[in-house]
Amino acid sequence: MKKRTIIFVVVVLVLAMLVTTSVALAKPLSLSKITGHAYFFMEAWGNTEIWNRITINENPRTHALSGLITVKITNPFNVGARAYEATPVCVNTYKGEDGSNWAILVDRITAKGVSGWGPGEPFEYAKWKIHDTGLPGGEGDTTYLAYECYDPEFGTTCDTDGDGIPDAPYDEFWPANDPPTCEDTDFVNFPLEVDQGNLVIHMK
176 and 76 belong to one structural domain: yes
Give 176-180 contacts, CB < 8 A, sequence gap 24+. 176/121, 176/122, 176/123, 176/124, 176/125, 179/89, 179/106, 179/108, 179/125, 180/106, 180/125, 180/127, 180/146, 180/148
Quick: pLDDT tens for 116-151. Answer: 998 899 999 999 999 999 999 999 999 999 999 999
CA distance 42 to 111: 28
Whether the per-residue pLDDT at 61 is higher than 50: the answer is yes
Longest dimension (CA), the chain: 88
107 and 6 belong to one structural domain: no
Name every residue whose Cβ is closer than 8 Å to that of residue 26 and which is 6 or more positions away in sequence.
none
Strand order in the sheet with 82-95: 192-193, 142-145, 125-132, 101-115, 82-95, 65-74, 48-58, 33-42, 196-202
Whether the per-residue pLDDT at 25 is higher than 50: the answer is no
Mean pLDDT confidence for 162-187: 92
Give the residue, 86 or 160, on which the prediction is more confident: 86
14 and 111 belong to one structural domain: no
97 and 126 belong to one structural domain: yes
Q: How confident is the model at residue 44 (pLDDT cuts 50, 70, 90)?
A: confident
Q: How confident is the model at residue 1 (pLDDT cuts 50, 70, 90)?
A: very low
Give the domain extent around 62: 32-202
41 and 3 belong to one structural domain: no
13 and 69 belong to one structural domain: no
88 and 113 belong to one structural domain: yes
140 and 106 belong to one structural domain: yes
Number of domains, the chain: 2
